[in-house]
Copies of this chain bind each other. A is one copy, B any other.
């Protein structure tokens, strides 16, 4: 994965290398404000840590770089022994974060801090994007079960894996993605597809075949031909072969009307514990609407719009140099002024809700503030225990309760802008005026 980087990271690295510029750099990763997101759920840190602990340039990588004729032998020799030897500070996965907060802080020789930039942004952005989308679904699901169904529509295989992981962190119960079950230990779920019904001579025959193989565990997909008729067929089959109906799935149509009618028919026939699971174009807005109408829905399969975060398909985020060789650095491009210096984020709570975040110099203190940036990697070594995915998920749901209620609106933009400590404001202004001269 070392070559999964932008070419300029390597050409700049060669310049740093040749000019002997390898002072310690501090970079901050942060998200810029987004009017459709009031908060973000932090995720992806473990994936980044895994990368940082293992990044190496293979012989094939070096051979390829040599073939481009852009690099000197000396620099390629340097890359042969490349390791990440710096420090990584990060906010815990499962923590709520806001725009303009340095969620990740890298402190390393500038060549290293630069080469890792592309992967860092690539992996962390999508992780936060999906975790946040998932938590928005969770925030309106009133305890209904949520399952990630989006693998097929995710942007490639890695996005499908990250979506399963991030949505689990964001309060989902599991995923349809079997590999995510294997690699991350996430519970896996599945029902049946329309093609399964269509491959049989009749819906009843299809139901009977499935239920006889999974008598305790069948969720009947009822909408291939006619939803209500499908419910009746499921009941007929369950009665005929004497199995329970674990549940039914409705994947199209008016989910409110159909779920009400299906519930009535199931109850009338004594299948009161059969669950109603719905899917097909689900997002947080539809979940909210259905739950507010008290639709008798027990679970949602959320696919495409979760895995692509389709209403906010990317986060405007950046990884910016804030300090080099002990000197603060700043960028002044229009509307994109950065705040210099190695930092800390302090969080203050009031009545168990997030009240205020303050961004300070790294060694500043804020009374009653909880420091959010923690040291994970020191001099290239892992120095902090990584929690299990289950622990991260629990932390997310705990932190969810600490989000001010107003921020939980899906429509109104109510968020928290972190305060910048007086000292930081002062040095930023000084630096700005220096560069404007």
Residues of A within 8 A of B (CB): 1, 3-12, 14-16, 18-19, 21, 23, 25, 27, 60-61, 64-65, 68, 70, 110, 114, 117-119, 121-123, 125-126, 129, 149, 151-162, 176-179, 181-182, 188-196, 198-200, 209-210, 213-214, 217, 223-226, 251-253, 304, 308-310, 313-314, 316, 320-321, 324-325, 329-336, 435
The contact of A153 among B12, B122, B178, B310, by CB within 8 Å, is B122
Cβ-defined contact, B190 with A7, below 8 A: yes
A104 to chain B, nearest CB (A): 13
The distance in angstroms between the C-alpha atoms of A25 and B355, with both chains bound, is: 59
- Contacts A252-B336, A310-B313, A330-B198; A152 near B11 (Cβ below 8 A): no
A429 to chain B, nearest CB (A): 16
Oligomer copy total: 2
- Contacts A8-B192, A152-B117; A225 near B159 (Cβ below 8 A): no
Cβ-defined contact, B119 with A324, below 8 A: no
Cβ-defined contact, B12 with A182, below 8 A: no
The distance in angstroms between the C-alpha atoms of A210 and B21, with both chains bound, is: 12
Cβ-defined contact, A192 with B11, below 8 A: yes
A339 to chain B, nearest CB (A): 13
Cβ-defined contact, A333 with B156, below 8 A: no
Cβ-defined contact, A157 with B119, below 8 A: yes
Contacts of A332 in B (CB 8 A): 224-226
Cβ-defined contact, A155 with B182, below 8 A: no
The distance in angstroms between the C-alpha atoms of A191 and B188, with both chains bound, is: 44
A63 to chain B, nearest CB (A): 9
A22 to chain B, nearest CB (A): 10
The distance in angstroms between the C-alpha atoms of A160 and B12, with both chains bound, is: 21
Cβ-defined contact, A21 with B209, below 8 A: yes
Contacts of A252 in B (CB 8 A): 333-336
Contacts of A213 in B (CB 8 A): 14-15, 18-19
The distance in angstroms between the C-alpha atoms of A50 and B196, with both chains bound, is: 26
- Contacts A199-B25, A333-B224; A7 near B152 (Cβ below 8 A): no
Contacts of A23 in B (CB 8 A): 199
- Contacts A122-B151, A253-B333, A333-B251; A11 near B157 (Cβ below 8 A): no
- Contacts A11-B190, A314-B310; A253 near B151 (Cβ below 8 A): no
Output the nearest chain B residue to A311 by Cβ-Cβ distance: B313
- Contacts A181-B64, A324-B199; A8 near B155 (Cβ below 8 A): no
Cβ-defined contact, A6 with B156, below 8 A: no
Q: Which 5 A-B pairs have the closest CB atoms?
A: A7-B190, A156-B158, A8-B190, A155-B155, A195-B321
The distance in angstroms between the C-alpha atoms of A125 and B154, with both chains bound, is: 9
The contact of A320 among B19, B27, B195, by CB within 8 Å, is B195
- Contacts A182-B64, A324-B198; A1 near B157 (Cβ below 8 A): yes
